[in-house]
């Protein structure tokens, strides 16, 4: 009898930064991103690229034969019905997808035979981003002390994502520095408490679920509470006690995973080609920059499974 092996790979493919997500702005030969000076920062924020570091904490990962139940503010996320867990750690395990990691769990229980059309992941809603990027524009921080130049890099610290939605609501701290030459990037941790707000203090103007197309299918993401699994409905600005502390993602795979009697190996591959984007604002401190950067924020990742 063949021994079943589960192998988890956390990879950042060595590809051009934009990977198709910044084609309006990027020089694909030099990886320099140049924004149109009159561009809308909200639209430009959609220009996503691969970070140098992308750290997440995973609690549970599995696959499903049917679409998992999405959470609402009254109903918990259900990723157990029609689903099988193939990796679980109740304490959570941190992985740096950009650095790469792998392990083999020989002897793990083989998933039941069947056709799995969806994947799921339960994770912390924190993202550790390390990034240094060259721009064709002169860029700067919201705080003039953060410097200006064509090179910008993350400088460490932590913040809630809703703070980057409105310049008036952030804490006055930049999480980047910019200069005429590249600096050394440090990890900045974003706690994702919404997927965007018109007013972070008014949760009715915020999105607590989102979807996006990835390399391997469509990802549906929900910010939830670990206490009951329900969809969150508050931001840090509106109610710091009731803010989300987990994220559950459902991935509708382009290619289904088929487990048969002969399956002996399952390989999981994560990629973050569009895992970050600069949080941009119009320049307002007289630093001569085309845009002010608050931080390099988090973006989506994709998951692919292959079997042998």
- Look up the domain containing 47 and give its range: 17-101+117-256+273-302
Nearest Cα to Cα of residue 128 among 87, 188, 48, 208:
188
Are 254 and 120 a contacting pair, CB within 8 Å? no
Using one digit for the tens of pLDDT, what is the confidence trace for 116-172? 999 898 999 999 999 999 998 899 988 888 999 999 999 999 988 887 755 544 566
Predicted pLDDT at 11: 35
Q: How far apart are the first and last CA of the chain?
A: 15
Are 195 and 160 a contacting pair, CB within 8 Å? no
Residue 10 lies in a domain: no
b/e code 57-77 from CB counts within 10 Å (16+ = b)? bbbbbbbbbeebbebeeeebb
Residue 265 lies in a domain: no
Nearest Cα to Cα of residue 171 among 180, 163, 179:
163
DSSP state of 199: S
Residue 107 lies in a domain: no
Residue 308 lies in a domain: no
Predicted pLDDT at 273: 60
Our count of domains for the chain comes to 1
Residue 3 lies in a domain: no
SS3 per residue for 35-97 = CCCCCCHHHHCCCCECCCEEEEEEEEEEEECCCCECCCCCCCCECCCCEEEEEEEEEEEEEEC
Using one digit for the tens of pLDDT, what is the confidence trace for 56-93? 898 998 899 999 999 999 999 999 999 999 888 899 98
Residue 268 lies in a domain: no
Q: How confident is the model at residue 216 (pLDDT cuts 50, 70, 90)?
A: confident
Using one digit for the tens of pLDDT, what is the confidence trace for 28-65? 567 888 887 665 666 565 677 778 888 889 899 889 99
Residue 111 lies in a domain: no
Residue 51 lies in a domain: yes
């Amino acid at each position: 009898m063949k021994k079943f092996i589960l192998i988890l790979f956390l990879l950042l493919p060595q590809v051009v930064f934009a990977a198709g997500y910044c084609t309006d702005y990027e020089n694909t030969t030099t990886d320099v991103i140049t924004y149109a000076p009159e561009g809308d920062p909200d639209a430009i924020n959609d220009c996503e690229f691969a970070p140098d570091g992308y750290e997440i904490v995973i609690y549970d990962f599995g696959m499903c034969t049917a679409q998992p139940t999405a959470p609402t503010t009254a109903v918990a996320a259900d990723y157990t019905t029609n689903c099988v867990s193939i990796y679980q750690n109740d304490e959570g395990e941190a992985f740096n997808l950009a650095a790469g990691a792998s392990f083999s769990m020989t002897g793990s229980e083989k998933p039941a035979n069947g056709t799995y059309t969806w994947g799921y992941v339960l994770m912390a809603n924190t993202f550790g981003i390390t990034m240094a990027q060259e721009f064709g524009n002169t860029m700067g921080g919201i705080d003039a002390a953060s410097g200006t130049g064509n090179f910008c890099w993350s400088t460490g610290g932590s913040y809630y994502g809703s703070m980057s939605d409105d310049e008036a609501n952030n804490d006055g701290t930049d999480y980047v520095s910019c200069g005429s030459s590249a600096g050394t990037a440090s990890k900045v941790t974003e706690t994702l408490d919404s997927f965007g707000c018109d007013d972070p203090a008014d949760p009715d103007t915020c999105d607590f679920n989102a979807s996006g197309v990835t390399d391997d299918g469509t990802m549906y993401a929900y910010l939830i509470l670990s206490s009951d699994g329900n969809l969150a409905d508050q931001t840090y600005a509106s109610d710091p006690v009731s803010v989300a502390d987990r994220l559950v993602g459902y991935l509708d795979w382009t290619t289904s995973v088929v487990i048969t009697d002969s399956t002996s190996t399952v390989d999981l591959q994560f990629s973050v080609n569009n895992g970050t984007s600069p949080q941009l604002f119009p320049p307002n401190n007289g630093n001569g920059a085309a845009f002010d950067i608050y931080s390099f924020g988090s973006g989506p990742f994709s998951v692919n499974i292959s079997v042998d």
